[in-house]
Chains A and B, each alone.
Chain A
């Protein structure tokens, strides 16, 4: 019984498309930003919205937060937790969100 279940699980893994993991990762890390930047990146109040930002502007901004080139109250602490590849992937996603 146990073996059957595990084999069923195993074949399910094999059917999964390999690219999927990247999408799931991007979608999940991008969603962590919404805690501060608002539902789907549309903010209430002083924190800026990030929905619909131009991708190139977004990537440069995140790199500048991380390096310190753009001074920030809190974004250096958050931007430093992510890689350049993640900035690019998140950039595509945020650019696609409605302002």
Chain B
């Protein structure tokens, strides 16, 4: 008897069947269990570090190698609080130490430069070579500075930052705002969707407004949005812009920057040319470059990575899983989401490597708290359950707060501290 792929999927149960309905034809079958299978994880951010930790927790026989060039974990969540002056860089920096010492993750401080998905080998800049049974990619976003004319030159000259990856640019932007005279203009842009952290740009504008209100009340903010309207938590943000920060934020929709000039300090859009004292242009985004190396970032998906959403395995390349911001899905690109995807992915990989069928009804949740001042915050929260042919279905009672308060500010801060300890141990 010959068993073709279709028959195989029929007998292998509901999970595989729903996978088929979702059009993901390349889910690889569970493999006969090895004594010590190897998983390589690329990127030790919200998705990758969580995945490595849970792979070792649930699959102690799995050898997990986590590759990232950074010395420390620097969190994008709460980085807007640094820009607003409510927190410091030290507050958003955490050590990776517990992943090797308490979870047995092999950490490699290096940058992945090549992936051979046939031979299943990952190569690093430092000359390392790592073979895998399964590969997990969580590289975050690739910021398309090439799509905004003049950006690279102005960025190299320290005249414009995106600060959409937490690190040196976060600190530089804070410094520029501190050095700006009262009465200055802060120009910021919002990339076109989909981009990392939908409420993030509006949170940043609000916290800079909070800082200006206290320290330089004559200053202005021009917010150039590439989208037709506020993308996330509109009532929450409009509420404070029209009250706490009345007259300070000039919001301009449908205004994506296509050029920036660091000498004249101007940002050009289709409709406007604006001058600022501090420029924070956030270019459009796509899946991290390492996804291109593995051939899993596809032009047909607008340069994001299509996956089987119950296992996060690539639909184009077997044994390669993608989680976090790089995934192509109608789901928000957040750290909370990357953390939850990582758990579903780790759980599936543990099962597949043990020759078992993964969970057929996974659940993924999201919460994005946003501070709107140094005392108040709100949130958006949802739970999605996998319902076979329907894919992930948003459950009742999900939604956003319209009015910020002190309690949510306290929970926002606690959330950050707790997710960092969940990601890093």
Chain A nearest CB, measured from B313 CB (Å): 14
**Given A25-B361, A77-B382, A16 contacting B356 (CB threshold 8 A):** yes
Residue of A nearest to B3 (CB): A6
Residue of B nearest to A21 (CB): B359
Contact with B along A3-37 (1 / 0, CB 8 A): 10111111011011000110011011101101111
Within 8 A of B (CB), among A33-91: 34-39, 43-47, 73-74, 76-78, 80-82
Are A81 and B395 in touch, CB under 8 angstroms?
yes
Q: Which residues of B contact A76 (CB under 8 A)?
A: 397
Are B336 and A74 in touch, CB under 8 angstroms?
no
How many chain B residues touch A (Cβ–Cβ < 8 Å)? Answer: 57
Chain B nearest CB, measured from A14 CB (Å): 9
Chain A nearest CB, measured from B321 CB (Å): 15
**Given A3-B3, A43-B414, A44-B421, A9 contacting B363 (CB threshold 8 A):** no
Within 8 A of A (CB), among B324-365: 336, 339-340, 343-344, 347, 351, 355-365
Q: Which residues of B contact A73 (CB under 8 A)?
A: 407-408, 411
Chain B nearest CB, measured from A28 CB (Å): 4
C-alpha spacing A39/B397, complex, angstroms: 26
> In this assembly, does B69 line the interface, its C-beta being within 8 Å of a C-beta of chain A?
no
Q: Which residues of A contact B417 (CB under 8 A)?
A: 38, 44-45
C-alpha spacing A15/B425, complex, angstroms: 33
Query: A24 contacts which of B8, B11, B340, B358 (Cβ < 8 Å)?
Result: B358
Are A7 and B30 in touch, CB under 8 angstroms?
no
Are A81 and B418 in touch, CB under 8 angstroms?
no
Query: B411 contacts which of A9, A15, A74 (Cβ < 8 Å)?
Result: A74
Are B355 and A16 in touch, CB under 8 angstroms?
yes
Are A34 and B379 in touch, CB under 8 angstroms?
no
Residue of A nearest to B360 (CB): A21
**Given A15-B355, A36-B415, A80 contacting B340 (CB threshold 8 A):** no
Within 8 A of A (CB), among B372-402: 379, 381-385, 395-399
> In this assembly, does B229 line the interface, its C-beta being within 8 Å of a C-beta of chain A?
no
Q: Which residues of A contact B418 (CB under 8 A)?
A: 34-39, 43-45, 47
Query: A28 contacts which of B11, B357, B362 (Cβ < 8 Å)?
Result: B362
> In this assembly, does B410 line the interface, its C-beta being within 8 Å of a C-beta of chain A?
yes
Q: Which residues of A contact B407 (CB under 8 A)?
A: 46, 73
C-alpha spacing A29/B272, complex, angstroms: 48
Q: Which residues of B contact A12 (CB under 8 A)?
A: 29-33, 355-356
> In this assembly, does B54 line the interface, its C-beta being within 8 Å of a C-beta of chain A?
yes
Are B383 and A28 in touch, CB under 8 angstroms?
no
Q: Which residues of B contact A32 (CB under 8 A)?
A: 340, 343, 363-365
> In this assembly, does B5 line the interface, its C-beta being within 8 Å of a C-beta of chain A?
yes
Within 8 A of A (CB), among B7-38: 8, 11-13, 29-33
Known: A47-B414, A80-B383. 4 other contacts (CB 8 A): A21-B357, A36-B419, A39-B422, A73-B411
Shortest 4 CB-CB distances between A and B: which pairs? A81-B383, A45-B414, A9-B29, A12-B355
